[in-house]
Amino acid sequence: MPVVRVPDESGNTLTLLEVDGTYRAGNSSVPDHENEIRSIPTWQARDDDVLICAYPKSGTHWLWEVTSMLTRNKAERIPGVKESAMLELIQQSRFDNLPSPRVVNTHVQYGQVPKDMLDRRCKILYMIRNPKDVSVSFYNHHVNLLDYEFTGSWEHYLPRFLRGDVDCGSWFDFTLSWENFILQIPDYPILVIYYEDMKSNPVLEIERIATFLEVPYDDVFIQSIAQLCDFNTMKSDKEPLEDADDWRGGKPDMYRRGEVGDWKNWFIVGQNDLFDTVYFERMQNSKTNLRFSL
């Protein structure tokens, strides 16, 4: 397994898996993990597969829970974590044996998803979150998950994030990749969901998802899912499913705050100016319309 330790300016390193020039989170429980990741584009799809795509720390688990409840037609907690159905963290054999309808998720760019999914026009839910909040959440994720072996400061982490020296690479590359896919194939069945919209009006967004997935629903069902998938409810319900031994201090922290605008508690003026400069340079031609606060 090609494990690399990627340093920042101060010498603090982040332990990652490198596959063909792209950084990934490693999973020691997957034999020959590097080649499993390489093989993902060849995996065979089913017509009723649903694929959730999002950059890390953009609400993937949240959306996975909502979508799984809708496709199962049950407002019940899913007994597992999203990593159990995440393309780049499982073996092909597990993917092949997941029961239909499969709701799988990924952090890869569109060119790295199973080609058969795109050929079959499987439905895709694309979740996007403003990158300032993503950077703060990713920093805390890297500090607290022991596998990353990371103890760096926020001061030196932000330039790392802007360069894309993290698992899944650059937020900008990822976002522009999916935007390009949408523009190239405008009739593809893909629904764009903004994290900030899910926070401000979860009932409306869950209804949009249900309509897109063509699943039956009524107001009671949607309200039940919204309540079960409320951030505070998920934080209290789900963390026991995380292995405490994986986390610094034995305290699972997959769900930290989930707020829109938490970046304001972290960014100083110079960091915000730096971020805005890079953002406007990279996204000047983008049609992505993000909100950095509510």
Number of residues in the chain: 294
Tracing tokens 């998938």 back to the chain, one arrives at 229
Given the residues 33, 107, 141, 142, select the one marked as catalytic: 107
Q: Please name which of 73, 75, 76, 103 lies closest in space to residue 87, comparing C-alpha atoms.
A: 103
CA separation for the pair 201, 141 (Å, rounded):
26
- Name the phi and psi angles at 106, rounded to 5: -160, 160
Task: Kindly give the pairing relationship between strand 50-54 and strand 123-128.
Answer: parallel
Tracing tokens 């020296």 back to the chain, one arrives at 165
CA separation for the pair 179, 173 (Å, rounded):
10
Distances (CA, A) of 73 to 60, 215, 225, 262: 20, 8, 10, 34
Q: Say which residues have a Cβ less than 8 Å from residue 187's Cβ, sequence separation at least 6.
A: none
CA count, 13 A, side-chain hemisphere, 107: 22
Q: Please name which of 274, 16, 4 lies closest in space to residue 138, comparing C-alpha atoms.
A: 16
**Phi-psi domain of 293 (left: phi exceeds 0; alpha: psi -120 through 50; beta: other):** beta
CA separation for the pair 234, 11 (Å, rounded):
36
Is residue 61 flagged as an active site residue? no
CA count, 13 A, side-chain hemisphere, 137: 22
Which residues are identified as catalytic?
107
